[in-house]
Amino acid sequence: MDGDNLLLEDGLSDDLDDDFDDEEEHSDPLLPDNRYLDRELSWLAFNQRVLELAEDPLVPALERANFLAIFSSNLDEFFMVRVAGLKRRILTGLALPTNIGRVPVDVLTDISEKAHLLQQRHSRAFKDLVEPALREGGIDIVRWDELSDAERTVLDDYFSAQVFPVLMPLAVDPAHPFPYISGLSLNLSVRVRNPKTQKVEFARLKVPQMLPRFVRIAGVAASGEPMRFISLEDLIANQLDDLFPGMEILDHHVFRVTRNEDVEVDEDETENLIKALEKELLRRRFGPPIRLEVTDDMDDETLGLLVRELDITTQEVYKLPAPLDLSGLFSLQKIDRPDLKYPNHVPTTALQLSPSEPNQRQDVFKAVSRGDVLLHHPYESFATSVQSFLEQAAADPDVLAIKQTLYRTSGDSPIVEALIDAAESGKQVLALVEIKARFDEQANISWARKLEKAGVHVVYGLVGLKTHCKLALVIRQEKGGVLRHYSHIGTGNYNPKTSRIYEDLGLLTADPEVGKDLTRLFNELSGYAIEKKFKRLLVAPRHLRKGLLKRIATETENARAGRPSGIRIKVNSIVDEAVIDALYRASQAGVPVDVWVRGICGLKPGQEGLSETIRVRSILGRYLEHSRIFSFVNGGEPDVFIGSAT
């Protein structure tokens, strides 16, 4: 890449981070007050676009089921983080106005209204569209009353052998207080009557999470007939006589609770961040309920009991058709039906990294020393580029040191294994593990301890900041004893599994200025550093916003002077008000602005007198669009940034 192309990295960002208030005031009296879109409703609009993919008949049936599962999982996290954050701020008296000046109580009302509509639409999409499409493709999710006698016999045996032993019915009476309901668990509420006393009792039955959510009805259907499944909760509900022998089963219903599962650790007040975080993770299980989902056939008495015991409002109750929790549809992806999925895609090896001869071994260092290599995943393989780079570095006797950030990685990470191999061979290895990566905290703590045991120097970044940059730096001794820096800067995580489904960019470079910048940055992140000047990087939170605002201002000036101008931005979300206001001013000056934003967008495009030259598009599809790109025409000498910000 040419020397004018810069790199962008950040130290603070997450799509659902609880950061309702800006670092500073960015009011501009020349811009209208109502110039932003509501952040929370914008996120719900994004998830609606995910749902629309599930509704699209041109998408293969199993992929449509997968999009239903993604919608469900996304919405769970939205409630656990964003809605929980709004409620927490209200309860603690920190209910500052949102980005559009509304009080959080009103925003919660809007969220509830929109979320209720979306969840109903989500359920209808399964019932009316996706379930019939699966059935047409030979995958049938059936109810108990649709089963033949032979199928019921098979399932009776399965229940007795695999399900019954792990079930734990819990009574609710004066001797048995209302049980704790874990977040996101499926549960059956059961009302039974004692035939001797005629007394009606209530019990709760948790659906085991370690068992398959959809049970294959095996050994009955003839060859060529549809594969038939039944939901685990439906199977259990029709075996209640075995669980409550001698009792009369009056009714049963499915329900599910979502809790506040965000984690807060006061890093300034703790001496051991890992221990403090582990303690907070234990507390997370007992966060207050923020949503109750129930099947729409639940009687008022049972619903009233749940609302009372869980201490939630009627606004937080979602009555939905069964089945609840369609994230369980993820399990259907294991079905070997390529005709019901997207065509198989095999990533290629980047041309510059491919050996020139058929039997020649790949040499990443040699390739990168000849010139920068821009990688585009998943179209180009992560395994034969980034993974090979780190594995070769671990095995190369000329490599003296490896420095690496880890935000999220896979369960059997070859990246972690490469770092361990490097440390065990005597190399200096530094791993910056972000243990506050949301919902991956426990996994990252485990990785940190495993790395430390192998002799890797493990650090956790800067107090009060989340280290979100994706960086690797290899120091190699070459001819004449010269130390050369080989760097990787990426927009995605060092995760071989997600690299196959996330669209991301990465740059492998031996540029000495980039290497020196990364050395300075790693020193800042691992030690004490006052000097924070970089030649090729913009690093949040100190330089990133200023750097972007400066370049947007340059485009604005160029447009007014009649010089070439233009801005193209691709991000996960765009909510920074200072950046949005700068883009409005650029548009008012006539700068063409194209923004591709996958998720939250606070920017209003196409508004007369404000943003007429701004176009906003959102790309959703087979791969999760994850790369971040900032491109500026710069009077005909383009500046292009990639990174992990926003």
Span 479-523, pLDDT tens digits: 989 999 999 999 998 999 999 999 999 999 999 999 999 999 998
pLDDT value at residue 218: 81
pLDDT tens for each residue of 262-304 = 655 444 444 455 555 555 555 556 688 999 999 999 999 999 9
- Under DSSP, the state recorded for 288 is P
In the prediction, which pLDDT does 223 show?
A: 57
Q: Tell me: the pLDDT tens digits for 203-238?
A: 999 999 999 999 999 865 555 678 999 999 999 999
Q: Is the peptide bond before 564 cis (omega within 30 degrees of 0)?
A: no
Select the more confidently predicted residue: 13 or 542: 542
- Give the pLDDT band (50/70/90) at residue 374: very high
**Tokens (6 digits) for 51:** 């749902």
Identical topology for domains 7-37+541-643 and 351-532: yes
**Where is the binding site, in residues?**
74, 408, 438, 502, 598, 626
Instruction: Give dist(CA 630, CA 568) in Å, integer.
Output: 6
Q: Pick out the residues of the known binding site for Mg(2+).
A: 408, 438
- List pLDDT tens digits, range 595-643: 999 999 999 999 999 999 999 999 999 999 999 999 999 999 999 999 9
> What's the token pair of residue 340?
């019901």
Beta bridge partners of 508: 373, 488
Looking at this protein, which amino acid is placed at residue 583? L
Residue 52 has pLDDT above 60, yes or no: yes
pLDDT reported for residue 5: 44
pLDDT value of residue 361: 87
Crossing angle of helices 61-78 and 104-124, in 10° steps, is: 160
Helices (H), 409-485: 414-424, 441-453
| 155 against 448, higher pLDDT | 155
**Tens digit of each residue's pLDDT (9 = 90 or more) over 103-126:** 888 899 999 999 999 999 999 999
Q: Report whether pLDDT(453) > 60.
A: yes
pLDDT score recorded for residue 273: 53
> Which CATH number is 7-37+541-643's, of 3.40.50.2300, 3.90.1420.10, 3.40.50.261, 3.30.870.10?
3.30.870.10
Strands 248-259 and 289-295: antiparallel
Average pLDDT over residues 536-549: 89
Superfamily for 351-532? Answer: Endonuclease Chain A (3.30.870.10)
What topology does CATH give the domain 166-327? Answer: polyphosphate kinase like (3.30.1840)
Query: What's the pLDDT score for residue 466?
Result: 74
Nearest-angstrom CA–CA distance, 593 and 598? 16
**Weakest-pLDDT range from 15-29, 212-226, 352-366:** 15-29
More confident call, 179 vs 368: 368
Structural domain spans, the chain = 7-37+541-643, 166-327, 351-532
- Residue 409's pLDDT is 67
Averaged pLDDT of the chain: 88
**Pick from 10-19, 233-242, 252-261, 543-552: least confident:** 10-19
Structure tokens given for 438? 């949301």
Q: Tell me the β-bridge partners of 142.
A: 230
Count CB neighbours of 316 within 10 A. Answer: 22
pLDDT at residue 268, as a whole number: 43
Is the predicted pLDDT of residue 370 greater than 90, yes or no? yes
Mean pLDDT of 185-213: 94
The predicted model gives 367-387 an average pLDDT of: 96
Q: How far is CA 146 from CA 65, 143, 150, 229, 295, in A?
A: 21, 5, 12, 11, 19
Q: What is the pLDDT of residue 398?
A: 97
Q: What percent of the chain has pLDDT over 90?
A: 69
CA 144 to chain centre: 35
Sorting pLDDT into bands at 50, 70 and 90, what band is 14? very low
Task: Indicate if the pLDDT at residue 543 is higher than 90.
Answer: no
Q: Give the per-residue pLDDT at 22.
A: 42
**Do 216 and 229 touch, CB atoms closer than 8 A?**
yes
- Residues with catalytic function: 468
Q: Which residues are annotated as a binding site for ATP?
A: 74, 502, 598, 626
Nearest to 161 by CA among 218, 202, 246: 218
Residue 351 has pLDDT above 80, yes or no: yes
